[in-house]
Amino acid sequence: MNENESSENLRRQILDLVRRYHTAAFPTRPFTPGESALACAGRVFDDEELVHLVDSSLDFWLTTGRFAEQFEREFAARFGVRHALLVNSGSSANLVALSCLTSPKLGERRLRAGDEVITVAAGFPTTVNPIIQNHLVPVFVDVQIPTYNIDPTQLEPALSSRTRAIMIAHTLGNPFDLNAVTAFAREHNLWLIEDCCDAVGSTYDGKNVGTFGDLATVSFYPAHHITMGEGGAVLTDRPRLKTLVESFRDWGRDCWCAPGMDNTCGKRFDWQLGELPPGYDHKYIYSHIGYNLKLTDMQAAVGVAQLAKLDGFVAARRDNFRRLRNGLTGLEEFLVLPEATPGSDPSWFGFPLAVRPGAPFTRRELVNFLNGRKIATRLVFAGNLLRQPAYVEIEHRTIGDLANTDFVMNQALWVGVYPGLSAAMIDSMIASLEDFCREAVHG
């Protein structure tokens, strides 16, 4: 047996032990209503993720490598786009997606300081932060209830001579009105970035979200549809944008060689850019003020195993949402129940609820009750970003009074529908909400 055969045999033995370890370390635990914790979200995995993770670690290739290449190829195919570019988080995906649109290589269409980007304040901070970080001006429009997505009737009032882009998320996996938004973007020659961090697997008009805009972003945080622990990706059909995303992700360099590769362009020492001397090494020419936002191949290895389970995860989320929605129809006197955007089929990230202003209880009372039953809740992210301390002094414009955004801030919450929740767990949620409303009415 030669040295390579010996190492491969050892690898097989190690991976067999990893499978045995998973069985011992992560047994299925019984569910007891009122005693077992019901999380809003969490990782769902089996031995394949551990095997992939250890297999990658045995390569000791610590940056992006074979698993990253496989994931990018398979994820792009799953979404139906040409390019998927891995980064180290969904927040980084948003940052490089918007930042790449500031590139001088885009000519007259580049975003410049002071340009405006239409967005919403009822969402997660990192959809808006890249606008501010790139010295652009967010223009906030209101959302609609009960979809919790952008009100497209406010797009036209938001338009100005400085408007250059739209950057919004599909809230809790529910697609925004892509017909209206894409038509508006085309009419006014605006860039469109779809934040799909909560919406992997959601469709609109039979097409995957993330395929409508110029760029799209996803997250692989443990709470999301599939996980790498940390991680994210930028999606695009446009080769030019793909190259710009890579540049901003990879230190701002002009070179597009993969890690460990040299001279992909065939003229590594024949470039002349900027005021550098002719023949300066292309691997060390920088066209943008960039970052290092790559992820490790070990993270990508977990993602490859997770991606094989995505269709099942999406089906479970839809089933759990449907069961919860049907079970709560009798409580609509007190609670605003969510509705999918017409023409969409969401891969729900969570189940949003809002306490009606005339209900005999407050959101805080409902949250405390559910927490007492060990049913985790979350608010709809930042509520109204403009009420948050970090955003009090930012330059911005608002359209109207953002009344629905304040309603989200004051009245809304969400509970989980992720694949780790069984039918019995969903039924326990329903029973708990029924108990609470009954006690609130009858004392």
Q: Per-residue confidence at 264, pLDDT binned at 50, 70, 90? A: confident
350 and 435 fall within a common domain? yes
Residue 379 sits in the same domain as residue 317: yes
Indicate the residue type of 62: L
pLDDT band at 258 (very low <50, low <70, confident <90, very high): confident
Task: Return the pLDDT at 5.
Answer: 76
Is 204 a domain residue? yes
Tens-digit pLDDT profile for residues 91-108:
999 999 999 999 999 999
- Token pair 């009344």 is found at 403
Last residue of a domain, one of 299, 320, 344: 299
pLDDT band at 26 (very low <50, low <70, confident <90, very high): very high
Q: Tell me: pLDDT of 2 over 80.
A: no
Q: Looking at residues 288-317, what average pLDDT do you find?
A: 97
Q: What is the pLDDT of residue 3?
A: 64
The total number of structural domains in the chain stands at 2
Instruction: Please give the positions annotated as active site.
Output: 224
12-16, 355-359, 415-419, 438-442, range with the lowest pLDDT: 438-442
Whether 72 has a pLDDT exceeding 70, the answer reads: yes
Domain that holds residue 58: 54-299
Q: Are residues 350 and 289 in the same domain?
A: no
136 pLDDT tier (thresholds 50, 70, 90): very high
Report residue 260's pLDDT band, with 50, 70 and 90 as the boundaries. Answer: confident
* pLDDT computed for residue 110 by the predictor: 98
pLDDT confidence of residue 442: 84
Q: Please give the Cα distance from 325 to 145 (Å, whole number).
A: 16
Claim to verify: residue 251 and residue 345 sit in the same structural domain: no
Name which of 364, 363, 406, 400 is nearest 387 in CA terms: 406
261 within some domain: yes
234 and 335 fall within a common domain: no
Q: Say yes or no: 384 and 347 in one domain.
A: yes
Assigned domain for 339 exists: yes
Percent over 90 (pLDDT), the chain: 94
Q: What is the mean pLDDT of residues 246-256?
A: 94
Domain boundary at 245, 278, 299, which?
299
Clarify whether residues 190 and 123 are in a common domain.
yes
**Residue 325, domain member (yes or no):** yes
Going by their DSSP bridges, the two strands 149-150 and 207-208 should be labelled as unpaired
pLDDT of 1 strictly over 60: no
Rounded distance between C-alpha atoms, residue 197 and residue 227, angstroms: 11
**pLDDT averaged over the chain?**
96
Shared-domain flag, residues 287 and 315 = no
Q: Give the residue-averaged pLDDT of 425-440.
A: 97
- What is residue 376's predicted lDDT score, i.e. its pLDDT? 98
Q: Are residues 248 and 350 in the same domain?
A: no
- 374 & 282 share domain: no
Q: What is the pLDDT of residue 129?
A: 98
What backbone torsions phi and psi does residue 295 show, to the nearest 5 degrees? Answer: -110, 175
> Which CATH number is 370's domain given?
3.90.1150.10
Domain termination site, one of 299, 319, 349: 299
Predicted confidence at residue 79, as pLDDT, reads 93
Same domain, 286 and 333: no
| 30 domain residue, yes or no | no
Is 1 part of a structural domain of the chain? no
What's the confidence (pLDDT) of residue 173?
A: 98
Give 411: exposed, middle or buried? Use CB within 10 Å, 0-12, 13-18, 19+: buried
Give residues with Cβ within 8 angstroms of 310, minimum separation 6: 78, 200, 201, 225, 226
> 45 lies in a domain?
no
CATH of the domain at 168: 3.40.640.10
